Amino acid sequence: MDREIILRHIQGAKENACVDFKREFYASLKHSDIAKDVAAFANLVNKEDKYIIFGVDDETREIVGMDSDTFAKQDDIDSYLEDKIEPFPMVNSGLIKTDDGKVIGYIMVSSKNSNPPYVIKETCGKGHRIEKGDIFIRKGSCNKKASRADIDEMYMKNGEMKIRIHDEITVVEPIHSKDDIGEPATYGHIDIEIFNDSTRPLLICGGKITIQSRKCLVERSVWSSIPIKNIYDRPIEIPAHTRKIYTLLYDFYSQDCVDMEFDVNGHIDGLVDVRVRLVDTDSNIYESDESKLLMKVKGDILHKVRLKASYKKKKPLLLRNGISLWFKR
């Protein structure tokens, strides 16, 4: 997989935020910019792995190859980076060969490095120009010292939030609330697990649930957890480093019951595919994997289904002057 990705980057012939070309491997780890280069990539938090590729001219993008004996072992790279960067960044290194036998080396800085900022913890590099406490970040095709705004953004993106559908069934039924006046409103409800692995609390202020049956797709707004609260007005706070199960409510209508072909008892043929998407107050979107669930509907929301079924049970009695008379079985 790394070979295919590296060759594709070389064919693209462009250095960018995730690719850096070098003609040769670092002459000496101790007197090189490897700590700066790796830290800059690690501080760029996105979903792509980043590559430092050796054996490619950084101006012409010509594959010149390299002497494999000059390439450091993975253990030596790890040991050096552990001494020079904190927290320790995850990297992988290796050698590949092109079809014409040229050797290319690479260091892959994993996209799973999700604990920025990665800080230089000991003065190092050519002429000791990389100082203790420096924070670098990849911008375009350059490695630069991070600004205050860059560091703020790193903390904002530190860690991640994951959501997972916890239920095996989603039920639509009247939901009682202390604020009810008259008959309780009908909502669908589903349990989801939210894991906030970041260093800051998150505020969930909206979302949608998508339900796909054999007959149609329904997408509805997520309102809140029980007891009913409108999360658009009162966001749900997810504390840092917590994992918790929440019951979400979503809109569902009597026509949805007809379109999805529920029977009069509130059952549907087969499972439904369900996905939940949530958004926080910073407009970040979090989406669950798709899950196959049972679905059940209860209450007066089935009135259109029952009305439709009652018509199907009628049959014509006789015909008078072109008008059919019907009676119920």
Q: pLDDT digit string (tens) for 192-238? A: 999 887 777 888 998 999 999 998 999 999 887 665 668 888 888 88
Among 55-59, 179-183, 196-200, 272-276, the minimum mean pLDDT is found in 179-183
**Any idea which fold 2-156 has?**
3.30.950
CA distances from 288 to 43, 224, 240 (A): 26, 17, 19
With beta carbons less than 8 A apart as the criterion, state whether 256 and 219 touch: no
pLDDT of residue 283: 83
pLDDT of residue 1: 65
**Any idea which fold 161-311 has?**
Immunoglobulin-like (2.60.40)
Please say if the pLDDT value at position 317 is more than 70: no
pLDDT of residue 171: 95
Averaged over 12-36, what is the pLDDT?
91
Residue ranges of the chain assigned to CATH 3.30.950: 2-156
pLDDT of residue 172: 95
Output Rg (C-alpha) for the chain, integer angstroms.
29
Residue with tokens 């260093």: 199
Helix (H) or strand (E) holding 255: helix 254-259
Instruction: Give the list of residues 6+ apart from residue 320 with CB closer than 8 angstroms, or none.
Output: none
Q: pLDDT digit string (tens) for 115-158? A: 889 999 999 988 889 999 999 999 988 999 999 888 877 776 66
CA distances from 24 to 15, 157, 261 (A): 16, 33, 65
Question: By C-alpha distance, which of 30, 238, 244 is closest to 130?
Answer: 30
Question: In one letter, which amino acid is 124?
Answer: C
pLDDT of residue 131: 94
Predicted confidence band of residue 329 (pLDDT cuts 50, 70, 90): very low
DSSP string, 212-231: E-SS-EEEEEEEEESSP--T
Q: pLDDT digit string (tens) for 64-122? A: 999 999 999 999 999 999 999 999 999 999 999 999 999 999 999 998 887 889 999 99
Please say if the pLDDT value at position 165 is more than 70: yes
Q: pLDDT digit string (tens) for 118-128? A: 999 999 988 88
The whole-angstrom separation of Cα 162 and Cα 144 is 31
HSE (side-chain half, CA atoms, 13 Å) at 104: 27
Output phi, psi for 12, to 5 deg: -70, -25
DSSP string, 158-220: SS-EEEEE--SEEEEEEE--TT--SSPEEEEEEEEEEEE-SSS-EEEEEEEEEEE-SS-EEEE
Global pTM reads 0.56
pLDDT of residue 51: 95
Predicted confidence band of residue 328 (pLDDT cuts 50, 70, 90): very low
The whole-angstrom separation of Cα 199 and Cα 196 is 8
